[in-house]
Amino acid sequence: MQNSLHINPDSCTGCHQCVLACSDRHGDDFSPIKSRIQIFRFEDEGRYVPYTCTQCEEAWCQKACPTNAISVDGNGALIVSDAQCVGCKVCTIACPFGTINYNADTGKVIKCDLCGGAPACVEACPTDAITFVNSSTTGFDKMRKWAAKTDAGSQPSA
C-alpha cells in the first residue's frame, strides 16, 4: 500500500522547517525558493498553509512532457529525470496546481518526489502538520481529501 503526504494546515505554525529540510535534502543548500514544499501565509486569518504536489494519478505534467521525463516511481511519486528533462517548462503551465517549477540553476524542472519514500518535510515538521500516511485511494480522492485540509478552511465541492 502506498503512502501519500497528508497536510493539516490547522497544525502548521509557519516555522518553515519543512521548507529548509526539503531544499537541503534536494541539495539546494537551504534555499527556500527551491524547496518543493511551500508555506503560504494568510495574514488576515493568521493561517499558514503548506503546499506541494499531490502526485495526481492522471498527471497533467506527465502527459504534457515532450520527452517522457516524468515517470511514476515505486512510491507512487511523479519524478523528473534530469537526464531527460530539457527544461521546456510546458509542464509548469500544464499543471493547474502550480506545483512543478523551473529551476534556472539546473535548467530542469523540480517537484516533490516524496524523497524516495521518506519525505524530509515530514521528518522535519515538529507539529505533525505534514504526515505520510497509507493511502489506497486514487489520485483525485487523495487530492480531494488533501484539498479539504488545505483550502484555507473551506470545503471543496465534490
Partner 1 sequence: MFGFLKRLFGFADNKQTGSTQTGSSSTSEPKLSLSPSDSEKRGDQIHAEYVIVGAGPAAVCAAETLRKNDAEGTILMLAAEDAPPYSRMAIPYVLTGLISEEGTYLRGDDDSLGKKAISVHHAKAIALDPNSKSLSFEGGGGCSYNKLLIATGASPIKPPVEGLDLPGVHHCWTLADARAIADKAGEGAEIILMGAGFIGCIILEALVSRGAKLTVVEAEDTMVPRMMNTVAGNMIKLWCQNKGITINTSTRVTGVSQGTGQLDVAMDNGTSKSVDLVVVATGVKPNIAFLDGVGIDMDEGILVNDMLETSISDVFAAGDCAQGPDFATNGNSVHAIQPTATDHGHFAALNMVGNKASYQGSLNMNVLDTVGLISTSFGQWQGVEGGENVELIDVDNFRYTYLTFDGDCLVGALTLGRSNNVGVMRGLIQSRIKLGGWKDKLLEDPNRLAEAYIACRQ
Ligand X SMILES: Cc1cc2nc3c(=O)[nH]c(=O)nc-3n(C[C@H](O)[C@H](O)[C@H](O)COP(=O)(O)OP(=O)(O)OC[C@H]3O[C@@H](n4cnc5c(N)ncnc54)[C@H](O)[C@@H]3O)c2cc1C
Query: Which 107-136 residues touch partner 1, going by CB under 8 A?
Result: none
What string marks each residue from 69 to 88 as x (binds ligand X by CB under 6 A) or -?
-------------------x
- Residue 155 engages partner 1 in binding (rule: CB under 8 A): yes
CA atoms of 146 and 114, how far apart (whole Å): 15
| Binding-site size, partner 1 (CB under 8 A) | 44
| Neighbouring-strand partners of residue 71 | 79
Give the Cβ contact number of residue 82 at 10 Å: 13
153 by DSSP, 3-state: which? Answer: coil
Residue 94 contacts ligand X per CB under 6 A: no
Cell matching residue 150: 488545505
Q: Which among partner 1, ligand X, none contacts residue 136 (Cβ within 5 to 8 A by kind)? A: none
Task: Kindly report the backbone phi and psi dihedral angles of residue 78, in degrees, each rounded to the nearest multiple of 5, phi listed first.
Answer: -80, 115
Grid coordinates of 144: 480531494
Contact between 15 and ligand X by CB under 6 A: the answer reads no
Choose from partner 1, ligand X, none: what does 17 bind? Cβ within 5-8 Å by kind.
none
State the distance between the two ends of the chain, measured CA to CA, in whole angstroms.
25
At its nearest, how many Å lie between partner 1 and the CB of residue 126?
22
Burial of 21 (0-12, 13-18, 19+ CB in 10 A): buried
Chain residues in the site for ligand X (CB under 6 A)? 88, 90
Chain residues in the site for partner 1 (CB under 8 A)? 33, 38, 40, 42, 49, 51, 57-58, 60, 63-64, 66-68, 84, 86-90, 92-102, 104, 140, 143-144, 147, 150-152, 154-158
